[in-house]
């Protein structure tokens, strides 16, 4: 087997990962800085973590974001799985190109475009149907689900394509209805893709700023909106503390998810051998 130049390999990866991680590490280090001036080091303190614990605006926004994130994750997995199943198993039905384009577009389209279009939809709906009368949690939720459905659909369709149809065919032959086959056979087989999709939707929702800015109303300020309004004015040591907590949670989450998935994969590979 051909091995690349070891020095070049290690060097390139070291530079690359330094670029990816130096900013994150600097955030973490300076969150423990006592000084009001974020980048001038004075002494180690947990001052900004205490400030964070007393910041009601931020805490309320965090709860709201968490709530919307959970709602989004469940709804996106439900609709996204359905959409991905259609993409993978229904062949080239009439309107397939438009369908796949509508799934692909939200992956790349600038969020400001989606933000303004959904906002105009809700405003027009409010005018014609009288509902939704006001923007708020509900409209943000729909916006986030709209975005995440595409990601879930892509993950699910690629997993379904890998599946061996023998099990499903056998169940059909034994007289199970298609709906039953889907819930009893297909869903458990793609459960990993569903978990990935759920986690991705949850983080995308918690992180989303642009869609929320267009779709939020009075009293529905999510965490990114609060953070953005503050960091727009420049550095803010409290935001460093918040970032550190966030990074810590995400790191633990990603490593745990990776660990469990690899274990599940290993277990799946075992009986076959």
Hey, which residues between 111 and 140 contact other proteins (CB under 8 A)?
111-114, 116-118, 120-121, 123-124, 127
Q: Tell me how far, at minimum, the Cβ of 79 lies from other proteins, in Å.
A: 6
- 91 by DSSP, 3-state: which? coil
One of 7, 23, 164, 270 touching other proteins (CB under 8 A): 23
User: At a CB cut-off of 8 Å and minimum separation 6, what does 82 contact?
Assistant: none
Q: Tell me how far, at minimum, the Cβ of 40 lies from other proteins, in Å.
A: 7
Q: Is position 255 an interface residue for other proteins (rule: CB under 8 A)? A: yes
d(CA 169, CA 181): 9
Q: Is position 175 an interface residue for other proteins (rule: CB under 8 A)? A: no
Which CB, 32 or 214, lies closer to other proteins? 214
Which CB, 4 or 218, lies closer to other proteins? 4
Q: Is position 93 an interface residue for other proteins (rule: CB under 8 A)? A: yes
List the x/- string, 26-65, binding to other proteins by CB under 8 A.
Answer: xx--x------xxxx-------------------------
Q: Is position 85 an interface residue for other proteins (rule: CB under 8 A)? A: yes
Q: Is position 108 an interface residue for other proteins (rule: CB under 8 A)? A: yes
Whole-Å CA distances, 43 to 26, 87, 137, 190: 15, 56, 41, 51
Residue length of the chain: 273
- 193 by DSSP, 3-state: which? helix
Q: Which residues of 229-257 are buried (b: 16+ CB within 10 A; e: fewer)?
A: ebeeeeebbbbbbbbbebeeeeeeeeeee
């Amino acid at each position: 087997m051909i091995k690349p130049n070891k020095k070049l390999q290690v060097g390139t990866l070291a530079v690359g990962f330094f670029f990816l991680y130096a900013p994150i590490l600097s955030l973490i280090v300076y969150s423990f800085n006592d000084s009001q001036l974020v980048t001038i080091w004075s002494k180690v303190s947990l001052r900004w973590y205490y400030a964070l614990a007393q910041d009601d605006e931020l805490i309320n926004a965090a709860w709201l974001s968490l709530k919307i994130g959970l709602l989004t994750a469940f709804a996106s997995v439900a609709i996204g799985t359905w959409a991905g199943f259609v993409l993978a198993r229904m062949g080239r039905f009439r309107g397939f190109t438009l369908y796949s384009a509508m799934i692909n577009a939200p992956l790349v389209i600038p969020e400001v475009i989606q933000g303004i279009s959904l906002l105009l939809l809700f405003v027009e709906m409010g005018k014609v149907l009288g509902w939704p009368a006001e923007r708020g949690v509900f409209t943000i939720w729909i916006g986030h689900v709209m975005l995440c459905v595409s990601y879930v659909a892509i993950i699910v369709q690629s997993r379904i394509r890998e599946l061996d149809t023998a099990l499903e065919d056998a169940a059909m032959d034994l007289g199970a209805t298609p709906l039953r086959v889907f819930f009893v056979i297909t869903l458990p087989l793609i459960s990993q893709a569903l978990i990935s999709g759920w986690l991705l939707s949850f983080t995308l929702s918690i992180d989303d700023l642009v869609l929320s800015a267009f779709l939020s109303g009075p009293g529905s300020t999510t965490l990114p909106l609060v953070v953005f309004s503050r960091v727009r004015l420049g550095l803010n040591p409290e935001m460093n503390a918040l970032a550190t907590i966030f990074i810590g949670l995400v790191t633990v989450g990603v490593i745990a998810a990776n660990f469990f998935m690899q274990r599940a994969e290993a277990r799946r590979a075992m009986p076959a051998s």
